[in-house]
Amino acid sequence: MMADPNSTDYNPTPFTSMAQVLAHRQPLTEGIVLAHNDCLTLAPFPNSNGGVWISSPNVEFVPELPMHRRGQPLRFYADGMLGAFEHVKWPQVFDEQEPHTLAAPGNPDLMFNLKFQENPLLDLKCTLPDFQHPAIAWEGLEDSDFVVSLHLPHEDVGFLAPPLHGRLWSAANEIIVMVLKVVDTELDSMFAHRSDREQYTERRKHYVLREIDYLRRACSRLQETPMSYFDVVLWYRDTQRLILGLRAWLIYMTIIKPRLDNPEFADYDNVLPLRGVFTKKESIVHTMHRCGVPVWWVRPLHTLTTRTTIIRVHEPILPIIHFSSETVMSHRGRQLVAPDFIEAKILDESLQGFGDMLRRYSLTGKPTVRRAVPVLEVDRQGLEDHMIEEDTEAGMAEIQRDDHVAGGSPSDSRKKRKGPRKGHRRAPQATRPPGNRPHWMCEVASPWNVILDAAPALAKPDSKRALTYILPPLHLFFAEGDAHAQKVQNWLRIREWCLFKAYANVDQAPVLMTAAQWRIALEGRYFAVHYPKDAAIQPQSSREDIACLHEAPEGTTSLGKRGRADARSGDGAQLNTTDRRRLRRLMERVDIHVRFGVHGGFSPYVPDDTPLPKWEKKPIDFHQALVDKRLWATLTWEISVTMFRLELLALDQEVVPDLYNLAKTKLRRPRHFDIMSIWNDECRVWEEPGKDSQDWLTSPEWRVRRAAIGRMLFALEAWPIEEPRLPRWDERKERQDTFAELEKEVVLYYCRRFYSLRGRSPTFPLMRPYWLPPTKTVLY
C-alpha cells in the first residue's frame, strides 16, 4: 500500500538490492501521507549486506539499535553510563515486561539535533507533563559539581555539590508525588477491563513503589555518604535513570496507555519527543505510529516494495553523540577503569526483561553494606591477646604506649604495667552497664537501656571470639584528660574516611577491627615502626607500603626494654606466650599505621597541627577537644546510631544471604530497604548531626518507636527460627504499658542472635542530644 491514497500500484514489486532502494527515494512534498510501513527515514542494518533495514514512519533519524551478545558482561564507561544500553536514555527494543520505558523523555541529542532532521521533535500541543527540572536527568558532572572533603593518596572523597543535589532531589520529589497521585487515584480504573485486574494492578504498584524506594535511597546516598568521585558519578547516573524511569511510567500511564486503549485515536502529525521503541512486529509499528510515539521497524528487505514511500536513507546515528566510549574514568589526574557487570551472566533465565537486569546489577540494587572482613587476620593465639585487650571498663588506664613505635617515650616502658602478670591470661571484662557511662554521654535509648538487666549474660563477651567493630567502640572514649582529647581530635581527622570505608563502595568491602586496633588508630601516631625483619611473625602489609610511613622525629627510640624479645624472635626461635603476644601487637601496630598513614593518607597526629579538623564546619583545637563535653556526647551519639545500623545491615546479610540475591527472590524491593526502613523512610544509615532526618527507633515517643519496632519484627521474621522465638505482633502494641514489654522482647531477641554470631552485644543506640535540631515529625 503506497502512502499516496491516489496510487494504483496494487501489485508492488519487492526490492532486491540497495541500489533499487536508493533509486526509489523521493522528496517529502505537501499531500503525501505516510503510512506505518512507509519510510520517513531508512537505514541499512549493520552487517546485513542490505538484507535487513530499519525504517521509521514518523522520525527523521534512525539511532543505532543496541545489540547484546548473550552471556557478555555489560560495562560502564568514563561518563558512568552504559552507552547504548542505557535503557531509558537511548531507544531500545520493545520490552513487554516494562512497556512504559518507551515513554521516557527523549534524548535531547537525538530529539533536537538539527544535523539529522529538518524538524526537531517538539511537544507543540503541550501534551506532556511540565517537569520542573527537565534537563537534570541528562546533565553530566563537572569538577565543580563534586565537593572534595578528604584528599586520599589515590582518590578524592566527598559529596555531590549542594546546588546540583538540590535540583536532583527536587526533581525526585516532584516525580514521586506525581506518580503516587496516579497510584492512589487512577491506577485501579486503568485496568478495569482486565479479568486479572486486582493481580495486575498489584504488580504495577509493586513495580513503581520499588522504583520510588530505589530513588529515595539513591538521593539519600548522594547526600549522606562520603564517596570517591567515581562512586559519586555512578550513583548520580543511577539516580538519573530512576528519575527518567518514573517520568516514563507517569507519561505512559496517563498519556500513552489511554491512546493505546482507544482504537479510534490517531495523531500522525504530532509525534511526541519520547524515547521510542524498536520492533520487528509490524502491528506494534502501526500502533505506535497511530499514538504519536517514535518507532523504528527492523524489517527484511522484501518488505520494501515499489509501493513503499521512501523519503531519505542514511546510516544509523551512533550512541557516541551522547555517551562516552572510553573505559577509563578520570578526575583531576586520577584514573579508574570503569566497572562492568561481572557477578553473573547477563539475561539469565531468572531475569524479566532488560530493565530487570540493569536494576539487579545497578548500585541501588546492591546491599548498602557488603559483607565485612577483618582488617587483620587473627590466629587462635592472637585471639587470646585481643580478648585481653577488650578493656571495656571506662576507668581502665590507657594502654601502655609501645616504645617499639618511633615517637614513643623511652620512659613509657619503665612505667608499672597494669593488668595480669606475664603468662597469665585475664578473662574478658564485662561491658560497663549503661548507668555507669560517663555523665556527659547521652543515655542509651529505650528499650535498649534495660537489655543488660534483662539478660546479664549479654554483658560478658565470648572469650572464644575476637570482638570486632566497623567503627570505634564507644568505651574507647570513656576516659577524660589529654589522652582522651587526643582521641577526639584525631577521630575528627579520620572520621569521614572511616565512614567512607564503612559503606559498600564499588570496589571494596568494609573492614572490621578489634578494640585494641581501634585504640591504636585513635592514637594517631602513624610513624614508621622498627621491627625485626626475620621475626617469626610478620606484618600483613607489603614492604613497599611500610616504607611509605613517616620516620619519627630525632631523639626517640624504636626499641627499648622489649628489644630482648625482638632479638630472639627470628625464624626457628621458641617464643613464650608473653613474647609472642608482644611481637604480634608490634606487627599489628605496623599494619594499623599503614592502613591509616599510607592507605588513608593521614600524617602522624600532632596536637593543633594545621589544618585543624572540623566539626560542623568549625575547626576544633586541642583545648576544645579537651573540655567540650557536648562535642564528646555528639560524637559518641553519632557513632552509636551509625554503628548500630551498619551492624544490623551486615548481620542480616549474613543470616539471610538468599534474600540479597535478586536472582533467587521475587521480593518487591531489595532486602536492605526493609532493614533501613526500620529507622526512617529516607534510607539513611549515617546519622550525621545537623541533618534533619527521622529516627524512629530512638524516639522518646512510644507510638513513634512502635512503627520502628513493628518493622524490625517483620524484618526479623525472615531469619531462621531459633529458640527463644521472636514474639508475635499482638494486641500488646496498642497500649503503652504492654508495648514496653513487647518491644523489649523484640530487641532482646535481636541482641541474643547478634551475640550468638558476634560474641558480644550489639552497639546500643544513644538518645539524640537535646541540643541538636529536632527531627522531622513522623506519622505513626
Q: Do residues 502 and 646 make contact, with C-beta atoms less than 8 angstroms apart?
A: yes
**Which pLDDT score is estimated for 201?**
79
pLDDT band, residue 509 (cuts 50/70/90):
low
**Which pLDDT score is estimated for 104?**
97
Cα separation of the two ends of the chain: 64
Burial 612-649 (b: 16+ CB within 10 A, else e): bbebeeeebebebbbebeebbbbbbbbbbbbbbbbbbb
Helix (H) or strand (E) holding 614: strand 614-615
Q: Length of the chain, please?
A: 780
Mean pLDDT of 215-220: 87
Could you give the CA distance from residue 600 to residue 497 in angstroms, rounded to a whole number?
Answer: 7
Task: Look up the pTM and report it.
Answer: 0.73
Could you give the CA distance from residue 695 to residue 732 in angstroms, rounded to a whole number?
Answer: 23
**Which pLDDT score is estimated for 191?**
74
In the chain, domain spans: 18-365, 368-435+464-627, 657-780
Q: Which has the minimum average pLDDT: 66-75, 117-126, 332-341?
A: 66-75
Question: Could you give the C-alpha distances from 12 to 229, 300, 689, in angstroms and in order?
Answer: 59, 16, 75
Residue 568 has pLDDT above 60, yes or no: no
Please tell me whether residue 227 adopts helix, strand or coil conformation. Answer: strand
Q: Which has the minimum average pLDDT: 3-12, 125-134, 218-227, 721-730?
A: 3-12
Could you give the CA distance from residue 357 to residue 95 in angstroms, rounded to a whole number?
Answer: 12
pLDDT band, residue 375 (cuts 50/70/90):
low
Q: How far is CA 71 from the centre of its chain?
A: 25
**Which pLDDT score is estimated for 21?**
93
Mean pLDDT of 312-333: 92
Question: Cis (ω within 30 of 0) for the bond into 66?
Answer: no
**Which pLDDT score is estimated for 309?**
95
**pLDDT tens-digit readout, 64-102:** 999 877 767 778 999 999 999 999 999 999 988 889 999
- Nearest alpha-carbon partner for 707 in 651, 649, 653, 746: 746
Long-range Cβ contact pairs of 202-206 (< 8 A, separation 24 or more)? 206/668
- Per-position DSSP letters for 295-354, written without gaps between them: EEEEEEGGG-BTTS-B--B-PPBPGGGTS----EEEETTEEEEPPB--SS-TT-TT--SH
**Which pLDDT score is estimated for 295?**
98
User: Where are any strands of DSSP class E within 368-410?
Assistant: 373-374
Residue 386 has pLDDT above 80, yes or no: no
Residue 434 has pLDDT above 50, yes or no: no
**pLDDT tens-digit readout, 662-707:** 655 555 567 888 888 898 877 677 766 656 567 888 888 999 999 9
**Which pLDDT score is estimated for 393?**
35
Strands 334-337 and 328-331: antiparallel
Question: Could you give the C-alpha distances from 650 to 417, 509, 688, 756, in angstroms and in order?
Answer: 37, 11, 20, 14
Question: Could you give the C-alpha distances from 608 to 368, 485, 604, in angstroms and in order?
Answer: 35, 11, 12
Mean pLDDT of 725-739: 90
Could you give the CA distance from residue 693 to residue 697 in angstroms, rounded to a whole number?
Answer: 12
pLDDT band, residue 347 (cuts 50/70/90):
very low
Please give the DSSP secondary-structure letter assigned to residue 492: H
Percentage of the chain exceeding pLDDT 90: 49
Which residue has cell 516494562?
Answer: 98
Single-letter residue type at 115: K
Q: Name the H helices within 656-735.
A: 671-676, 702-716
Q: Which has the minimum average pLDDT: 95-109, 378-392, 651-665, 752-766?
A: 378-392
pLDDT band, residue 397 (cuts 50/70/90):
very low
Please give the DSSP secondary-structure letter assigned to residue 701: S
Question: Could you give the C-alpha distances from 339 to 140, 149, 314, 484, 507, in angstroms and in order?
Answer: 18, 24, 34, 42, 8
Percentage of the chain exceeding pLDDT 70: 79
Strands 277-279 and 41-44: unpaired
By the 10 Å C-beta count (0-12 exposed, 13-18 middle, 19+ buried), 187 is classed as middle
Break the chain down into helix, strand, coil percent, rounded to 5.
40, 10, 50
**pLDDT tens-digit readout, 590-639:** 999 999 999 888 999 999 888 899 998 899 999 999 999 999 999 999 99
Residue 565 has pLDDT above 70, yes or no: no
Residue 415 has pLDDT above 50, yes or no: no
Which residue has cell 613517616?
Answer: 550
Rounded (5°) CA angle 354-103-78 = 55
Q: Do residues 469 and 765 make contact, with C-beta atoms less than 8 angstroms apart?
A: no
Residue 525 has pLDDT above 80, yes or no: yes
Helix (H) or strand (E) holding 536: none
Q: Up-side HSE of residue 166: CA atoms within 13 Å toward CB?
A: 3
Residue 776 has pLDDT above 80, yes or no: no
Residue 409 has pLDDT above 50, yes or no: no
**pLDDT tens-digit readout, 491-507:** 999 998 888 888 754 44
Which of the two residues, 567 and 758, has the higher pLDDT score? 758
- Residue 555: which residues within 8 A CB-CB, separation 6 or more? none
**Which pLDDT score is estimated for 689?**
65
Which residue has cell 511540565?
Answer: 130
**pLDDT tens-digit readout, 261-308:** 999 999 999 999 999 999 999 999 999 999 999 999 999 999 999 999
pLDDT band, residue 778 (cuts 50/70/90):
very low
C-alpha cell at 174: 516532584
**Which pLDDT score is estimated for 281?**
96
Could you give the CA distance from residue 510 to residue 470 in angstroms, rounded to a whole number?
Answer: 7
Please give the DSSP secondary-structure letter assigned to residue 162: H
Question: Could you give the C-alpha distances from 648 to 12, 193, 561, 656, in angstroms and in order?
Answer: 70, 45, 44, 12
Mean of the per-residue pLDDT values of the chain: 82
Residue 186 has pLDDT above 90, yes or no: no
Q: Do residues 59 and 312 make contact, with C-beta atoms less than 8 angstroms apart?
A: no
**Which pLDDT score is estimated for 406?**
36
Could you give the CA distance from residue 143 to residue 492 in angstroms, rounded to a whole number?
Answer: 26
